[in-house]
């Protein structure tokens, strides 16, 4: 329950004192039929083109395959490739039935070499059959609010209603980035895996890792039906962006143009904690407690930091004893009544209770308990 609020306009001009380069113009043309540029921490879409049309997604599917399999299987576990897994067309790691390798190396084969054999192996190991694994993929899609996406194959080979939208694939890419192992593999240019104890070198199909300095993944795709597909991510100065394109022409340059535009629009900013107010303590050896909090780091449009306001939400007093780290209130940052961050205000140091309370303190405590019961 919010008991008291103090409002303060924070002078953030010092944070914006560094000159900002002129913003890029939004790309005038994007060759891909569908495209999205997405900032995951705020959910902000910076660019879109026919973003909600469902299209074939080819091997960008493997991001979902990796996500579902990584949540179900131990990465260091050694597994055996089922014979049925390798009976698949298209790109492959070169696995054979009976091969032994780790789940981590299977994921590398899936994400770097786009191995359809690795995709089927992970699906069968996770769920026992491809239809059962597809059901898990669709369940995960529902969790990620990918309501227009349908997953039929773990490899991305076209079958039935298999497909997604650029907007929803951006959501999928953002989810994969949250998984440390998958994020690491997607950003790896060349990896060494071991199949039956023999070292095999894999090269990432995602050329954007070589073409764009800030690129950190994620996955390419192509079938005759889908055309060129790409879900990628890039990070610069604390800002991470995800781009997704379907049925592309010059999709490498599409993504480069989208990132150049996106990074010109946004900046990562650490919000200040200046002038944190103390809170009154009743019944303690000290009458007030100093407060502390962890400064939040947020992504904002460039220049917006100067309009940030901070609200302290604090009770009129707290009762001793108070331990260091006890939550006391909330610090809320807003821009135009839109909350951009909240942090918990905690006691910086302990305030032990006094041996005896005064009559007024006892009366205040009883009144406080009564008011709390009424308001609850």
DSSP readout, 300-342? EETTGGGG-EEEEEE-S-EESPB-TT-EEEEEEEEETTEEEEE
Three-state DSSP at 24 gives coil
**Cα separation of 84 and 169, whole Å?**
28
Q: Let me know: does 351 contact 319? Beta carbons within 8 Å.
A: no
Tokens of 144: 């990620």
Look at strands 198-203 and 190-195 and give their pairing.
antiparallel
Indicate the helix (H) or strand (E) that contains 164: none
Examine the residue annotation and report whether 228 is marked as an active-site residue of this protein: no
Q: Are strands 34-39 and 44-49 parallel, antiparallel or unpaired?
A: antiparallel
**Catalytic status, residue 59:** yes
Bridge-based pairing of strands 279-282 and 227-236 is unpaired
CB 341 within 8 A of CB 271: yes
Look at residues 158, 128, 138 and name the one whose alpha carbon lies nearest to residue 64. 138
- Identify the bridge partners of residue 218 per DSSP, sorted by sequence position: 232
Give catalytic status of residue 147 as yes or no.
no
Residues 6+ apart with CB under 8 A from 29: none
d(CA 223, CA 248): 12
Spatial CB neighbours of 213, under 8 Å, sequence gap ≥ 6: none
Catalytic residue from among 32, 34, 59, 226: 59
Catalytic residue among 102, 114, 164, 232, which? Answer: 114
**φ, ψ (nearest 5 deg) of residue 86:** -95, -5
SS3 256: helix
- Rounded to whole angstroms, how far apart are CA atoms 346 and 60? 44
Spacing of C-alpha 367 from chain mean position: 45
**Chain-centroid distance, C-alpha 202:** 26
Residues marked active site are found at 59, 62, 114
């Amino acid at each position: 329950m919010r008991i008291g609020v103090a409002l303060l306009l924070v002078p953030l001009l010092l944070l914006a004192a560094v000159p900002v380069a002129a913003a890029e113009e939004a790309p005038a043309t994007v060759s891909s039929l569908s495209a999205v540029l997405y900032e995951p921490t705020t959910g902000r879409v910076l660019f879109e083109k026919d973003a909600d049309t469902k299209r074939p997604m080819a091997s960008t599917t493997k991001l979902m395959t990796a996500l579902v399999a990584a949540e179900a299987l131990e990465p260091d576990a050694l597994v055996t490739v089922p014979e049925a897994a390798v009976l698949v067309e298209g790109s492959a790691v070169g696995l054979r039935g009976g091969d032994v390798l780790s789940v981590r190396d299977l994921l590398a084969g899936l994400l770097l070499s786009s191995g359809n054999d690795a995709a089927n192996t992970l699906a069968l190991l996770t769920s026992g059959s491809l239809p059962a694994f597809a059901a898990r993929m669709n369940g995960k899609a529902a969790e990620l609010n990918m309501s227009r996406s349908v997953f039929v194959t773990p490899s991305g080979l076209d079958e039935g209603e298999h497909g997604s939208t650029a907007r929803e694939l951006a959501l999928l890419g953002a989810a994969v980035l949250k998984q440390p192992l998958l994020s690491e593999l997607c950003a790896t240019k060349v990896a060494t895996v071991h199949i039956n104890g023999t070292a095999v070198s894999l090269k990432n199909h995602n050329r954007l890792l070589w073409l764009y300095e800030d690129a950190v993944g994620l996955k390419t795709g192509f079938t005759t039906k889908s055309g060129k597909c790409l879900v990628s991510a890039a990070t610069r100065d604390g800002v991470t962006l995800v781009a997704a394109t379907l049925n592309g022409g010059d999709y490498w340059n599409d993504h480069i143009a989208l990132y150049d535009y996106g990074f010109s629009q946004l900046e990562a900013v650490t919000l200040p904690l200046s002038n944190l107010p103390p809170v009154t303590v009743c019944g303690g050896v000290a009458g007030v407690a100093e407060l502390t909090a962890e400064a939040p780091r947020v992504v904002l449009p460039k220049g917006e930091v100067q309009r940030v306001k901070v609200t302290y939400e604090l009770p009129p007093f707290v009762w001793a004893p108070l331990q260091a780290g006890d939550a006391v209130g909330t610090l809320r940052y807003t821009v135009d009544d839109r909350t951009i961050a909240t942090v918990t205000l905690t006691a910086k140091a302990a305030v032990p209770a006094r041996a005896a309370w005064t009559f007024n303190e006892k009366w205040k405590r009883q009144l406080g308990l009564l008011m709390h019961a009424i308001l609850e």
